[in-house]
A and B are shown apart, each in its own frame.
Chain A
Amino acid sequence: EVRLVESGGGLVKPGGSLRLSCAASGFTFSTYAMNWVRQAPGKGLEWVSFISSNGNYKYYVDSVKGRFTISRDNAKNSLYLQMNSLKVEDTGVYYCVMGGGSRWGQGTLVSVSS
């Protein structure tokens, strides 16, 4: 069974940092591209970042460029999102998403507030 389990969310002040993790199981993680998608409270979905299967290609939505860094460790079947200089508008549920959207984790909540 494919499982994606996010962790690392929490409450942080503006300007702070968080590192999200996604533990993958039930599939050959190293052969799939991965994404992070977020959803602000009561709002729609927003794609945040993409990483290719080998980690060579990384893309970001403009609003997080220079602040967020996506990475992966294929030996540990794990995906990460390092989030620095957090803003109030980064608040939301962050989902780890497999490849073309076929599997989603349950999400981890990030709250940025003073």
Chain B
Amino acid sequence: EIVLTQSPGTLSLSPGERATLSCRASQDISSDYLAWYQQKPGQAPRLLIYGASNRAPGIPDRFSGSGSETDFTLIISKLEPEDFAVYYCQQYGSSPPYSFGQGTKLDIK
């Protein structure tokens, strides 16, 4: 079973700053099958990035993903007020379970 560990647990930043979120896998996963989601309180998660680096339709270009093997990163280049939320990574590769990371809460400093 692949375990995803996200860091930091909480990230406190101000609008306009750059956010860097990390997702580390316990074993190599294909970058084709690493996704990032954003979840706001009371809402369902929203897909941001799939295949480690591909933005989902309608996602602003301030969101970018990168990484391979065991280390993946989500960068938000210039934070907007609506970006403060919880972010999850997920692997959905060759074998289940299709685990999620524990989440990174991005809050306003």
A residues whose Cβ falls under 8 Å from a Cβ of B: 35, 37, 44-47, 50, 59-62, 95, 100-107
Contact = CB atoms under 8 A, between A and B. Distances in A.
A46 B102 CA distance: 9
A102 B56 contact: yes
Interface residues of B, number: 20
Contact of B44 (A35, A44, A59, A105): A105
Interface string B44-64: 111100100000100000000
B33 to A, nearest CB: 8
A101 B99 CA distance: 12
B44 A107 contact: yes
A90 B56 CA distance: 30
Interface of B: 35, 37, 39, 44-47, 50, 56, 88, 90, 92, 96-103
A102 B92 CA distance: 12
Given A100-B35, A101-B92, A95 B99 contact: no
A60 to B, nearest CB: 8
A50 B96 contact: yes
A103 B99 CA distance: 17
Contact of A50 (B88, B98, B99): B98
A47 B96 CA distance: 9
Contacts of B97: 47, 59, 61-62
A45 B39 CA distance: 10
Nearest to B51: A100
Contacts of A50: 96, 98
A35 B98 CA distance: 10
